[in-house]
A and B are shown apart, each in its own frame.
Chain A
Amino acid sequence: MMTSLAHPHTHSEHSAEHHAGWARWLYATNHKDIGTLYLWFAFAMFITGGVMALCIRAELFHPGMQYWQPEFFNQLTTLHGIIMVFGAIMPAFTGLANWMLPLMLGAPDMAFARMNNWSFWLLPPAAALLLISLFVPGGAPAGGWTLYPPLSAQAGMGMDLAIFSIHLLGLSSIMGSINIITTILNMRAPGMTMLKMPLFAWTSLVTAYLLIAVAPVLAGAVTMLLTDRHFGTHFFNAAGGGDPVLFQHIFWFFGHPEVYIMALPAFGIVSQIIPTFARKPLFGYVSMVYATCSIAILSFMVWGHHMFAVGMPATAQLFFMFLTMLIAVPTGVKVFNWIATMWQGSMTFETPMLFAIGFVCLFTVGGFSGLVLSIAPIDTQMQDTYYVVAHFHYVLVAGALFSLFAAVYYWLPKWTGFMYHEGRGKLHFWWSIVWFNVTFFPMHFLGLAGMPRRIPDYALQFTDFNAVASVGAFCFGLGQLLFFYNVIHTIRGGVGPAPDKPWEGGNTLEWEVASPAPHHTWESPPDIELVRRGLIAQAVEHEEEGDAR
């Protein structure tokens, strides 16, 4: 019963979907194909942004100017940030949601298959616009990923390209979010109530809501910038009665929730993986849901902590400071629950679990440095130093990126039908975690010592730590080739065929379908008993003990 449900009928000749070669991808409407597209796109962008990061780190290996003009250096940091955030991390999470949500919810596909195709195909032109901006007069935007005016208002046409690119990226995110929300709310298998969904579905849902709320605000901000630049409006132009600080308010009203858009899906992923490898239900499932929602709500009220240095009234500083600290509470609940899930579990340490544990440890470090920065008087000191760079890379690399690695290793057997090479997976993990820390930990000290961010040259006393960080970055980057190799090797057969349930503790619905997941799954919804059994084991055992057997 359990596995046969996966392919009730073999859909060999489903006309519309059987384009050959490239047409299969161009016209893709199947959630698995689209998920795959998203993931490969995100990987390509990760490499592109990564190469830029290495160009930055190469310049910073020595004091003095070696390789780039300062203008180009600024373009590198700006594009690296934009590409990593909008090109790599966010599409990767959308790709995962596309691949896994229908499988985990027992739905045949995403709600809007054709719109799904559009959501994806907006991304490559957006990326192209960003990259083309490198070659136009004046070069790519160089005012940082935050695009603050007046710098961004004065920049060359590269800025316009970036603005259009952000429009496309925003549109793509909004369409993707509509799809995700509709799928989750309307297409769950019978018997799967909201409070019985896998946590990854919960975090995807909340993330999608966040995106619908804030992606349009960013679109508005850059549109105002565009009209200020070309059509004589004065939203941010002081000479016309506008205020550049207004841009910062609007940007961070988007920007702070954005950091949770990159963090919440990661929380969802590790909440699937840790119970699996601890062979225990997730501790405090319901509190995890509440914590997710409260983080999302609070995230709208703390944007000012990015602006402590603009000269806001002391009462406003206190307001933002205390609310920011408050977010540590639901986040702490989550970390506690993950640890409690592992507590006395029969744990094994396969690669996904290693990355998940690495995530919990390092994300906590990033959370603590964030707490330090939330203190307004300290932030005025640390603003725009490398301490901030260290902080957000602990959250984004060790948080978002590591959770993505965890997810790929976790679900790769389901995607490809083959097992990856465990030893190489572990090597990738240990290599990454060591060099990640070598790269970013010294940046805390650089920042505390006062090294500003976004500079191509620095004072001599910063030399040693910068050299260490650069070596770390190059080794970290090299390690990602191993990841690429691991994935390709698995696709080509890996160490052998994967069973339908490669992980002993995995119980959610995606493990009930065959490996590799066939093109069509859950054409008829899964049996209610199956839904129950999986979810009980995964998360809600304590609630269901009465009618569980």
Chain B
Amino acid sequence: MESRVISMQQKNQRLALKLALAALLMFGFGYALSPFYAAFCQFLGIDRANASLTSAGAALRVEFDVNVAPEIPVTMQALDGVQVAHAGGQVRARFLLRNESDQTVYLRALPSFAPVRAAGLLQKLECFCFNAMSLAGNEQREVTVVLMVANQLPPEMGAATLSYSLQKIDPGQLRAM
């Protein structure tokens, strides 16, 4: 091969062009991360924004959460922490309550939805929170909530959380309710 004489300027321009191309490719690479990420998460089974749950408008992820006020000797556990709600269907979740002390305790559970407008889509048919209750010393009891799911679920709401806070009341309030 005969050596071709190229000027410094040409040499520079060629290198610059290559570098500009590299920059352009990296711009594309940024976009390629999006499908790659989705495939990767699906492969690993960790896709939290699963389209089948959200985009159809037909299903909603419902999470159940519990909090117990610090002064009560009671534990509460959500037995069905996560449920899938289908439009027009029902969701049922169980909780396990257990009195760790020898004394009777009087309790009330306060429900709250996040986001708040989920309350309109998930109507409580039956709930242990409708009534105050008492737990005898060392008693263990399973309670349930049944939710009716609205016929139309808005597509943008992927998940809703129903959270219960357990509070102590005094026996007088129990009778009054």
> What is A's interface to B at a CB cutoff of 8 Å?
111-112, 174, 177-178, 181-182, 185-187, 212-221, 224, 235, 238-243, 245-246, 249-250, 253, 313
Contact = CB atoms under 8 A, between A and B. Distances in A.
A181 B44 CA distance: 40
A235 B31 CA distance: 9
A182 B46 CA distance: 44
A224 B158 contact: no
Given A187-B8, A212-B26, 6 more contacts: A178-B23, A215-B23, A216-B26, A241-B49, A253-B30, A253-B33
Contacts, number: 92
Given A217-B26, A219-B27, A246-B37, A238 B158 contact: yes
Contact of B23 (A216, A239, A253): A216
Nearest to B51: A241
A111 B38 CA distance: 42
Contacts of B12: 111-112, 182, 186-187
A43 B19 CA distance: 29
Contacts of B11: 186
B75 interface: no
Contacts of B38: 243
Given A182-B16, A241-B55, A221 B30 contact: yes
Given A216-B27, A238-B49, A238-B158, A249 B37 contact: yes
Nearest to A220: B30
A178 B28 CA distance: 18
In the A-B complex, list the 10 residue pairs whose CB atoms are closest, starting with the nearest: A220-B30, A239-B156, A216-B27, A241-B51, A216-B26, A217-B30, A243-B49, A111-B12, A178-B19, A238-B49
Given A182-B16, A239-B155, A220 B23 contact: no
A239 B60 CA distance: 11
B15 A185 contact: yes
A214 B12 CA distance: 22
B31 A224 contact: yes
A214 B55 CA distance: 32
7 contacts: A112-B12, A186-B12, A216-B30, A217-B29, A241-B49, A241-B55, A243-B49
Nearest to A215: B23
A220 B27 CA distance: 6
Contacts of A218: 30
A240 B49 CA distance: 9
B158 A216 contact: no
A238 B54 CA distance: 8
Nearest to A173: B23
A149 to B, nearest CB: 12
Contacts of B30: 216-221, 224, 250, 253
A330 to B, nearest CB: 23
Contacts of A186: 8, 11-12, 15
Interface string B27-60: 1111101100110010010111101001100000
Given A187-B8, A216-B26, A239-B155, A250 B16 contact: no
Contacts of B156: 239-240
Nearest to B8: A186
